Amino acid sequence: MTGRSRVVVAMSGGVDSSVAAALLVEAGHDVVGVFMRQGRPETTGAGELPIHAPTAAKPGHQGCCSVADALDARRVADRLGIPLYALDLTADFGRIIDYFAAEYGRGRTPNPCVRCNAWLKFGRLFEHADAVAATHVATGHYARLEPDGAGPPRLLRGLETARDQSYVLFDVRPERLRRMLLPVGGLAKAEVRRRAAALGLATADKPDSQEICFVAPGEHAALVAQRLGGSRAGEIVDAAGRVLGRHPGIEHFTVGQRQGLGIAAGTPLFVTRIEAETRRVVVGPRSAVPEAELTAAAATWLVAPPAAPFECRVQCRAQRSAAPAVVTPLAHDRFHARFVGGPDASPGPISPGQPAVCYDGDRLLGGGWIEG
């Protein structure tokens, strides 16, 4: 992007979005900050910036979108001399919480951050950008956009691999890429903090958000049970159907999980499958955890949709590495991935409900939602 443009920046109250806004101001753009309100009303004393706090956080919980985050976003905006508006997305965010609960109720492991990026940050914020005549929407994600001739930009991993967040952007609509800006994607985290400190931003030393913003650590199962009208308690069984114990709800488990099973065995046991219909959690040895192949649905492609099998690397969880695979397109926006790297290049446990995201080197090609 060249010349002076009006840019809407999603300001979460963290250091990354703070520096993203600062870099755009330094580049001479007309920057408009937006804080997304996502929970119940609370009083903050922020005057013209009433805030909704998602939940009461546990001590030590560092999520995002809290009252404290709103106040930090206000301090940064004042320091940068830009306006900050609160956008009430409470109803929209309820859709994400409903999705979160429904997926656990189906025995799947949801990824609300991907939904938030696709539906809100690079969804609803574009409506706000249009309303204020802004050409672009920016965030503090660690990912990069690179021009690609006359087509949409390429979406690349962040320069600092350990901080890369491209995975959670796979489901953004391809046509949005032309109007997206990711100012910190080409920086290391240490450089982002250094710049924040040099600018005197209140968020320079603020810890990174690590948790789901709408529920405190350890409480997601209670939220799911409340949302679905009760827990999904049932039996823990082995592959032969032999009952080994009982569990308080399938919402407590994900495929590949070892801790918290609540049963004693002579060898380590892992969750290999979750049966939502029977509310059974199936366990077995590590070798029985699915890692060899997957089928994904509702695919989004940021390149021309593939028509034939191709080789790439597929990532199945945000904090894991991508593994070599052969991806075969299927009908109805689905694809199959067969991993070919052997045990030394495994994608890790494959959990239905999580994204399977395809990469060619640093370039994100597309992805889908794991069915099984």
Q: What DSSP string describes 239-287?
A: TT--EEEEES-GGG--TT--TT-----SS--EEEEEETTTTEEEEE-GG
Specify the 3-state DSSP secondary structure of 93. helix
6/136 Cα distance (integer angstroms)? 7
Nearest to residue 311, comparing CAs of 339, 344, 330?
339
Q: Are 294 and 286 in contact (CB under 8 A)?
A: no
Q: Reply yes or no on whether 65 is catalytic.
A: no
State how far Cα 171 lies from the chain centre.
10
Report whether 231 contacts 101 (CB < 8 A): no
Alpha-carbon span 81 to 232, nearest angstrom? 50
Query: Nearest-CA neighbor of 294 among 367, 218, 212?
Result: 367
How are beta strands 143-148 and 151-157 bridged, if at all? antiparallel
Residue 213 known to be catalytic = yes
Point out the catalytic residue in the list 64, 213, 312, 316.
213
Please say whether the beta carbons of 113 and 122 come within 8 A: no
User: Of the listed 64, 65, 113, 116, which one is catalytic?
Assistant: 116
Kindly tell me the sign of the dihedral angle through the C-alpha atoms of 255, 261, 263, 268.
Answer: positive
For the annotated catalytic residues, the residue numbers are: 116, 213
